[in-house]
Amino acid sequence: MMGHPDPTSEQDPVVRSVAAYSNEPQAYADHYAHHLLDRPHRFAASLPAAARILDLGCGPGRDLRIFAALGHRPIGLELNLDFVELARHQGDVVVGDIRAVSTLFPPASFDGVWAQASLVHLSTDETAQALADLHALLVPGGHCYACVSVTGATGWLDEPDGRRWYTVWPDESFLDAVRAAGFEITDITRGPYIEVWATKV
């Protein structure tokens, strides 16, 4: 069933997918060091000065550094400890699971939530819950960016550095999930991924 891996064939797909980033963490950081840099700059420009930004699944910390350099106050959330070690050279990072984000920060803690390719390993149900949690973590008028896969098939993917589960969102289904969480979508960037720019109304 779409978005619902068989729990009898694999143990927690999210944990297994996140662990795969430990095979070549520095190579991953180097490979994506210059990836889509216009996006975090655009997001940063949309926020008030010294905004509190949650960088969800911050990876090695590329965007933490950008947000801080632009005068904001980012904090990363990351489950992979090798990425946590790298990201802490760029800023503050909390170790934790996106699926428990509502337990990690009080409501209305952030002006912005940045989820660059970090919801891709969650099931559709887990993502729907995460979006609702992120909505609660934002102040009214706060901004959210989220990017997920819309091409390929939901399931396990064998990549050069490991095996990961990807949930693919067909048609407009991710937009529906973002709206159902309470957001107003302000812009959409379409490509192999769908990038959603949204506001807490």
Ligand X SMILES: C[S@@+](CC[C@H](N)C(=O)[O-])C[C@H]1O[C@@H](n2cnc3c(N)ncnc32)[C@H](O)[C@@H]1O
Three-state SS letters, the chain: CCCCCCCCCCCCHHHHHHHHCCCCHHHHHHHCCCCCCHHHHHHHHCCCCCCEEEEECCCCCHHHHHHHHCCCEEEEEECCHHHHHHHCCCCEEEECCHHHHHHCCCCCCEEEEEECCCCCCCCHHHHHHHHHHHHHHEEEEEEEEEEEECCCCCEEEEECCEEEEECECCCCHHHHHHHHCCEEEEEEEECCEEEEEEEEC
- Residues paired with 112 in a beta bridge: 53, 143
Region near ligand X per CB under 6 A, out of 77-85, 132-140, 150-158, 174-182 = 77-85
Sole binder of ligand X in the list 43, 80, 91, 149 (CB under 6 A): 80
Query: What is the per-residue binding string for ligand X in 122-161, x denoting contact by CB under 6 A?
Result: ----------------------------------------
Lookup: tokens for 54: 């949650």
- CB-nearer residue toward ligand X: 100 or 201: 100
Rule CB under 6 A: say whether 14 interacts with ligand X.
yes
Per CB under 6 A, the list member of 12, 16, 22, 32 interacting with ligand X is: 32
Q: How far is the CB of 82 from ligand X (least distance, A)?
A: 9
Which residue is closest to ligand X by CB? 57
- Position among 47, 79, 134, 138 found at the interface with ligand X (CB under 6 A): 79
Q: How many residues bind ligand X (CB under 6 A)?
A: 21
Amino acid at 100: A
- Of residues 85 through 124, those in contact with ligand X by CB under 6 A are 97-99, 116-118, 120-121
Q: Between 153 and 201, whose beta carbon lies closer to ligand X?
A: 153
Q: Can you name the residues that pair with 189 across neighbouring β-strands?
A: 195
Among 62, 72, 143, 200, indicate the residue that binds ligand X (CB under 6 A): 62
Binding interface with ligand X (CB under 6 A): 14, 18, 21, 32, 57-59, 62, 77-80, 83, 97-99, 116-118, 120-121
